[in-house]
Amino acid sequence: MTNILTSTVDVSAGTPPILKWNGTPLYAANCPADSAIVIGGVAYFIASLTDTTHPVLTRDYAGTVPSTGLAAEISPYTKDQVDTATLNARTARLLQALSLSPAGIPLIMDGSGITDVDPGAGRVRFNSAANPTWAYVSKTDALGNNITGRLGTLDDSVNVVSRATLQFIPNDGSGAYLDFDVSGALVDGTTYSKVPVLLRAGSLPADQAELAMAGVPAGKDGTNGTNGSNGIGAGTALYSLSGGL
């Protein structure tokens, strides 16, 4: 485990200003060249040690000279190690940003209730935890984009079986997902849409789960076919039950 050295320093006039460390004696083991030192909340790096109490900074001390009793701490992480850690953190954030999530509109699950109310910007809620028949979907996604037009396509097709299929899939790959048929016309809730649904499979994701919503409109019902021709009526018997013609 890394030990952070904490103490105070005195700064006296000189070119560059002279620092005196008032804590644990400094050696190459606990204060290698390029170690980070924070003096009065300002970060510096140590170029070398004159002795066990006098570190030399890589740049001039920028505070008031002379000064005494300034709060200070030294970390044995070198500048290269700090730069590497910073780069690693930035790389991790970049990889997370580039990670592939399920394709769809990003929404957040609102599991705080089942009443018909605006779930909040970028959120979706349902009217039942066991068998939802309504989905209440914000007209903006979790990124702040307006999705009114996308939602409107869910009931464009008039189909007695299903106007569209609608899925909500967690981005973390958990097993809780929802697969619906859109069963009727959407109802406008001003800031959200009320979508009538029939559950095909799945279960409610956890509250605050990050979801990807995907909807696919169904094909419209086809036109009725023409009536078939009438069947042949009863005709004259070709033979009698007694066999005579």
Q: Is the pLDDT of residue 60 over 50?
A: yes
Q: Is the pLDDT of residue 114 over 90?
A: yes
| Domain encompassing residue 125 | 105-217
Same domain, 86 and 169: no
Q: Is the pLDDT of residue 71 over 80?
A: yes
Using alpha carbons, select from 200, 175, 182 the residue that is nearest to residue 137: 182
Band of pLDDT at residue 234, cut at 50, 70 and 90:
very low
Q: What amino acid is encoded at 203 in this protein?
A: S
Using alpha carbons, select from 47, 27, 40, 93 the residue that is nearest to residue 69: 40
- 229: which DSSP letter? P
Tokens encoding 224: 């009725």
Of the listed ranges 70-84, 152-166, 204-218, the least confidently predicted one is 70-84
Structural domain count of the chain: 2
Q: For residue 208, what are the contacts with CB-CB under 8 A and spacing of at least 6?
A: 108, 109, 111
Q: What percent of the chain has pLDDT over 70?
A: 82
Which domain-ending residue is among 97, 123, 155? 97
Q: Is the pLDDT of residue 155 over 60?
A: yes
pTM for the whole structure: 0.52
Q: Is residue 137 part of a domain?
A: yes
Report the DSSP pairing between strands 105-109 and 123-126.
parallel
Q: Is residue 172 part of a domain?
A: yes
pLDDT of residue 229: 59
Q: Is residue 170 part of a domain?
A: yes
